[in-house]
């Protein structure tokens, strides 16, 4: 099976405030689904990097559109995000990214 690797980088103002998460894992790699892994990049406070590995070759412009929309909506900064995809539709990608944003904004309890 051929895989495509895509890289996207977003620059913006440095993140303000304290981050309440250290590592996030959303979803599972399986047919028609994907997983997202995220970790902070405190040494680059205004940078967000996406690394996409997908079995759906030739859809880079669709990935760009979906991630651009996510970044415009959620203003994520100072983290590195890996997406491992096994043929998820854009709707599933948006769902998983929404789950990621929710986890990033969740405050630690205790």
Residue 94 lies in a domain: yes
Give the residue numbers spanning the domain of 61.
Answer: 4-105
**CATH code of the domain covering residue 66:** 3.30.230
Closest CA to 33 of 85, 75, 82, 77: 85
Residue 2: burial class (beta carbons within 10 Å; 0-12, 13-18, 19+): exposed
Paired tokens of 75: 């203003």
Q: Does residue 66 contact residue 90 with C-beta atoms inside 8 Å?
A: yes
Residue 110 lies in a domain: no
Which H or E run contains 10? strand 4-11
pTM for this prediction: 0.89
Residue 44 lies in a domain: yes
pLDDT, tens digit (0-9, with 9 covering 90-100), for 59-104: 999 999 999 999 999 978 889 999 999 999 999 999 999 999 999 9
Q: Does residue 36 contact residue 27 with C-beta atoms inside 8 Å?
A: yes
pLDDT, tens digit (0-9, with 9 covering 90-100), for 19-51: 678 899 999 998 889 999 999 988 888 899 999
Residue 10 lies in a domain: yes
């Amino acid at each position: 099976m051929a895989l495509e690797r895509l890289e996207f980088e977003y620059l913006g103002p440095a993140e303000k405030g304290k981050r309440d998460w250290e590592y996030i894992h959303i979803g599972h790699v399986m047919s028609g689904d994907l997983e997202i892994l995220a970790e902070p990049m405190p040494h680059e406070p205004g940078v967000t990097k996406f690394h996409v590995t997908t079995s759906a070759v030739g859809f880079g412009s669709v990935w760009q559109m979906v991630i651009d929309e996510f970044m415009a909506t959620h203003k994520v900064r100072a983290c590195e995000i890996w997406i491992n995809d096994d043929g998820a539709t854009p709707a599933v990608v948006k769902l998983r990214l929404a789950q990621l944003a929710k986890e990033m904004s969740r405050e630690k309890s205790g």
